[in-house]
Chains A and B, each alone.
Chain A
Amino acid sequence: MATESGTASVQHETHGAHATVGTYVLIGVILTVITAVEVAVFYIPALASVLVPILIVLSTTKFVIVVLFYMHLRYDSPLFRRVFFGPLLLALFVVIGLIVLFKYLPRFDPI
């Protein structure tokens, strides 16, 4: 977090690159399409074996798109990204860790 400290006044929504309403609508369309694809994949029996990886990729894509564009992280200071994605990574670690511990590791069964 090597941030410069100085007498910077609060930046009041001044950003160079900034999404327009048109961009937002386009993203809304993309999100809808991805959701439709997710549901479609769910219903296609032939894809059952790769359902989970596909869904995870698609959902992560939606997640990232909303965070970067709707929540404006793409255009804002990198600092916001760090204070959000740091804990988020930790949360992922917790979810995966608990799934592994409970579902995948051989345990000693009580007698």
Chain B
Amino acid sequence: MAANSAVAHRTSTGLDSWKLGFWVFLGSETLFFGSLISTYMVYKNESVVGPFPTEILNIPLTSVSTFVLLMSSLAMVIALDAVQRGKRAGSLFWIMAVIALGALFIGFQAYEFTHFYHEGLTLQTNLFGSSFFILTGFHGAHVTLGVIWLAILWLDALRGKLPPEKSLRLEIAGLYWHFVDIVWIAIFTLIYLIE
């Protein structure tokens, strides 16, 4: 695939096209999440019926899940460092760490969603429900895709197919992962901490 830099190819900038293309994609994704966040902000405090955010959002719990996601980004950069330096055991451990922390984050989200459902907040209940679930839902879907992506890369590493020359594959997965993390930083502040 992309990161096979065994064949050196000339580019106008000296930069890898896959990495450039992926940053371009991330630029595009800011507009996607920006529009979803706009929808949430426009409808903030406009719900006609409850449950309302202050009644139902669990700040301590979400602070923990936010911390988990931040730590997964740390694990991600350590994993990349391990792969770039050809350290097999370190690579396997730290990629798995990202997967585990990511899965834990999704677990927290799943718990939160089911808890809200039992408290009477669904997609159809009010504007808060609609805009909250669609924003955090799309974010969670992105995290899930990231976990699957990393699991595939972990299997590659297991089979010795992720040597330093192919580290760009993990680097790009890492860019995706960190992006999902910074979107969450925005969501945590705008949804949970600002009333």
Q: State whether A39 touches B193 (Cβ < 8 A).
A: yes
Interface SS of A by simple majority: helix
Instruction: For the complex formed, measure the closest distance between the CB of A66 and the CB atoms of chain B, giving whole angstroms.
Output: 5
A86 at interface, CB cutoff 8 A:
yes
B148 at interface, CB cutoff 8 A:
no
Q: Which A residues are in CB contact (< 8 Å) with B5? A: 10, 12
Choice from B24, B31, B181 contacting A90 with Cβ under 8 Å = B31
Q: Which A residues are in CB contact (< 8 Å) with B24? A: 83
The chain A residue with its CB closest to the CB of B32 is A91
B9 at interface, CB cutoff 8 A:
yes
Q: State whether B73 touches A66 (Cβ < 8 A).
A: yes
A25 at interface, CB cutoff 8 A:
yes
Q: Which B residues are in CB contact (< 8 Å) with A28? A: 70-71, 73-74
Choice from A9, A21, A38, A103 contacting B10 with Cβ under 8 Å = A9
Q: Which B residues are in CB contact (< 8 Å) with A77? A: 13-15
Interface SS of B by simple majority: helix
Q: Which B residues are in CB contact (< 8 Å) with A43? A: 59
Q: How far is the CA of A56 from the CA of B190 in the complex (A)?
A: 9
Q: How far is the CA of A82 from the CA of B98 in the complex (A)?
A: 28
Q: State whether A31 touches B14 (Cβ < 8 A).
A: no
10 further A-B contacts with Cβ under 8 Å, apart from A11-B16, A91-B33, are A6-B14, A10-B5, A19-B77, A21-B77, A24-B77, A28-B71, A28-B74, A59-B185, A70-B74, A70-B178
Q: Which residues of B are interface residues toward A (Cβ below 8 A)?
A: 5, 8-16, 19-20, 23-24, 26-28, 30-31, 33-35, 37-38, 41-42, 59-60, 63, 66-67, 70-71, 73-74, 76-78, 81, 84, 165, 167-168, 171, 174-175, 178-179, 181-182, 185-186, 188-189, 193-194
Please name 11 pairs of A and B residues whose Cβ atoms are closer than 8 Å in the assembled complex, sorted by A.
A8-B11, A10-B11, A24-B78, A36-B63, A38-B193, A59-B185, A62-B70, A66-B181, A66-B185, A90-B31, A94-B31
